A and B are shown apart, each in its own frame.
Chain A
Amino acid sequence: MKNISRILIANRGEIAVRIIKTCKRLGITSVLAVSDADKESLAAQMADRSVCVGSSAARDSYLKVDSLVAAALGTKADAIHPGYGFLSETPELAEMCEKVDLTFIGPSANCLRQMGNKLLSREIAEKAGVQTIPGSTKICNSAQASRAAEQIGLPVMLKAAAGGGGRGMTIVRDLEELNNVFDILSSEVKSAFGDGSLFIERYFPKAKHIEVQILADCFGNVIHLGERDCSIQRRYQKVIEEAPAYALSGELRTTICKAAVGIAESVAYDNCGTVEFIFDEETDNFYFLEMNTRIQVEHPVSEQITGIDIIQEQIESAALKPLSISQDNVRIKGHAIECRINAELSDGSFKPCPGRIQLWNPPTGPGIRIDSHCFTGYSVPPFYDSLLAKLIVTADDRFEAVKQMQICLDNFHVSGVDTTIPFLKNILHRPDYIQGKVNSRWLEDVVLKSKGSSL
């Protein structure tokens, strides 16, 4: 067992606040790494100590491995929690931590490497006996791409092996388009991710995005906390997430969760993670998409229906303790929905809208959870993502949860910056959404087209 009594949090915004809360509950001292722009943030006020690691641009602060490790060593932290985004899935940080005897709160560098490459992770899933999306191996040129696309059947998804976070992929509907975009995407991802490898997968236009929350420790225990449905997406970014995945039959839920656990076991996975799948409602087939090796934005919906603090389990498994629960003790109760509230222009452009929040008045009450770093008077900096808050409601069933969410959105008052609240309200009142007749293209193809918004 390793001792973790002081954690350096290498992140910002709502997830930094979230991690500090668990640290406080566990009696762990929190040290927050902040950029120049975040010195006065809510997380900085809540942490036991904050330390400025660099200027406002993320590349000079939250993305600087050596500065963050120096900050952890200099403040005598024994562990680093990377949160999500930034360096959370960077093997170099995990390796550097190991070298200087710091605990990286996340899976081993080896797991990060294997799962961070989409081509490699496909192979791993196949070896674990899980069906992957019909697709190609690495493709080197557009001629090869055309052959693969014809074999797989158009439309296809052209993807970067090193991509992530909704970047480095594009839908291709015909061969001419494929020819045109291949070189562009290849050079784009080369400069963005340092690896220009591309591959092709069949594209399912009417599929749901289903993912399974995994918890694992260094003793080989792997459990799941059920699934989430994250089909409401815009440009591959999740907008609304729910748990459990209401569209799946009980039998299918068991099968998909087992598949996810099997993949994690096959790589000796040892922290929290998420295995993502595409679920084709027409055939009831599911296909492995990718694995995310970090805490995810939407983790609260799984916490709400299981009562398990995933950040706590992350810290404990990093401290080489066994998981505090076994699969038999995981009870799924009720239904939770999360809406991501972003500071974005409400004119249909979804452009980020930084600025000072003049009024911040979120709803409160039983079954309502707000994960946020915002407050009245807070100035949303222009340097980072636009997430302001996650509004999470939990009720006995989906119908009640939807009703509750509608009310909560009506009672969420923000002024000073534009937010996505009106957009979320619109979605929550659509019959398709209420009845669950949605897929991962629904938001863009149905809602945004009908609103006449430019995409």
Chain B
Amino acid sequence: MDNGNNIKIDNDDLIQILSLIDSSDFDQCELSTGDFKLIVRKSNCAETIIKSEESQPHQLGKNEDRNEFDASHEMSSTKSSREIAADREPSESAKEGLLTIRAPMIGTFYRAPSPGAKAFVEVGDKVNENDIVCIIEVMKVMSSVKAGVQGRVVKILAENGVLVEYGQSIFLIEPEQNHEAH
């Protein structure tokens, strides 16, 4: 209990806040304390300020019936969100402004629609939001995973036929050149 008004918010707190919002019916939350300000809006809202993997289960729920998953993870360039990304996934993604596609569920990761078939994507390929990048199998149920972002595949982080965990980074994507830099 140090000083009164300025509550210190660390990474864990932030994750909890995001999870709480995600599991709630609210679409938006604004929180400010001291010089820290956090605005979170769910993915279907217009101006996403911070959008992290915590918004994913929401999307997952929507698409569950079709077994299609939109694994978009746009990180904004505000300072706070960059720090979250770096903290949670100490990979090259945060440093180089790359986007991460994460596994929307636990299961076996497959790069191709069937054994021996051509992989959905290779390093260097261009992907659009709706392009399928891989399949995750859970108990014989195959679910295709969409890129959810636009860009070029820079790295494939998971091995074919191996278990991926919920939230695990599976692709690194270099975003389309952005004209308005901020």
Contacts and interface: CB of A to CB of B under 8 A. Distances in A.
Given A379-B13, A379-B16, A66 B141 contact: yes
Interface string A29-49: 000000011001000000000
Contact of B106 (A53, A57, A356, A382): A53
A74 B108 contact: yes
Contacts of A60: 57, 60
A226 interface: no
Interface residues of B, number: 26
B165 A37 contact: no
A70 interface: yes
A382 B56 CA distance: 19
Contact of A379 (B12, B23, B141): B12
Interface of A: 36-37, 40, 51-57, 60-61, 66-67, 69-71, 74-75, 96, 100, 356, 379, 381-383
Looking at chain A's contact residues, the main secondary structure is mixed
Nearest to B103: A52
28 contacts: A36-B15, A36-B19, A36-B167, A37-B15, A37-B16, A40-B12, A52-B165, A52-B166, A52-B168, A53-B166, A54-B57, A54-B106, A55-B54, A55-B60, A55-B167, A56-B22, A57-B23, A61-B166, A67-B105, A67-B138, A70-B108, A70-B138, A70-B163, A74-B106, A74-B163, A75-B163, A100-B139, A381-B19
Contacts of A57: 23, 57
Given A36-B166, A54-B166, A70-B107, 15 more contacts: A36-B19, A37-B19, A51-B106, A53-B106, A55-B56, A56-B19, A66-B139, A74-B163, A75-B163, A100-B139, A379-B12, A379-B16, A381-B16, A383-B19, A383-B23
A330 B32 CA distance: 60
Nearest to B53: A36
A74 B138 CA distance: 10
Contacts, number: 77
Interface string B141-182: 100000000000000000000110111100000000000000
Contacts of B138: 66-67, 70
A322 to B, nearest CB: 33
Closest 7 A-B residue pairs measured CB to CB? A74-B163, A55-B57, A52-B165, A66-B139, A56-B19, A52-B166, A70-B138
Interface string B108-136: 10000000000000000000000000000
A123 B167 CA distance: 47
Contacts of B56: 55
A210 B107 CA distance: 43
A382 B57 contact: no
Contact of B23 (A40, A56, A96): A56
Contacts of A70: 106-108, 137-139, 163
A96 B138 CA distance: 13
Interface in B33-57: 54, 56-57
